Amino acid sequence: MQIGMIGLGRMGGNMVRRLRDGGHEVVGFDMNPESGRDVDSLAALVAALDAPRVVWVMVPAGVPTESTIDGLKSLLDPGDIVIDGGNSKYTEDRAHAASLAEKGIRFLDCGVSGGVWGAERGYALMLGGERETFDHVRPLLETLKPEGEYGLVLAGPVGGGHFAKMVHNGIEYGMMQAFGEGFATMMRSEYIDDAAKTMVSWREGSVVASWLLDLFENATKDDPELRDVPAVANESGEAKWMVEAALELGVPTPATGAALYARQASRGGADDVLRVVTAMRAQFGGHVTKVDEIATH
Residues 174-193 that bind a second copy (CB under 8 A): 174-193
Binding mask 58-97 for a second copy (x = CB under 8 A): --------------------------------x-------
Taking CB under 8 A as the criterion, the residue among 76, 114, 143, 238 binding a second copy is: 114
| Active site (catalytic) residues | 165
Q: Give the three-state DSSP class for 261.
A: helix
Nearer to a second copy, 50 or 188 (CB): 188
Site for a second copy in 134-163 (CB under 8 A): 145-157, 159-160, 163
Taking CB under 8 A as the criterion, the residue among 16, 100, 124, 141 binding a second copy is: 124
Nearest to 112 by CA among 194, 208, 7: 7
Binding mask 271-290 for a second copy (x = CB under 8 A): xxxxxxxxxxxxxxxxxxxx
Closest CB 227 distance from a second copy, rounded Å: 8
Binding mask 192-221 for a second copy (x = CB under 8 A): xxx--xx-xxxxxxxxxxxxxx-xx-xxx-
Sign of torsion over alpha carbons 154, 157, 161, 165: negative
Question: What is the distance between the alpha carbons of residues 114 and 282, in angstroms, rounded to a whole number?
Answer: 49
For 207, other C-beta atoms within 10 Å of its C-beta total 6
For 294, other C-beta atoms within 10 Å of its C-beta total 10
267 alpha carbon, distance to own chain's centre: 20
Nearer to a second copy, 29 or 163 (CB): 163
Nearer to a second copy, 29 or 179 (CB): 179
Nearer to a second copy, 76 or 97 (CB): 97
Question: What is the distance between the alpha carbons of residues 44 and 29, in angstroms, rounded to a whole number?
Answer: 9
The yes or no reply on residue 132 touching a second copy (CB under 8 A) is: no
Sheet holding 81-84, edge to edge: 25-29, 2-6, 54-57, 81-84, 106-113, 124-128, 152-156
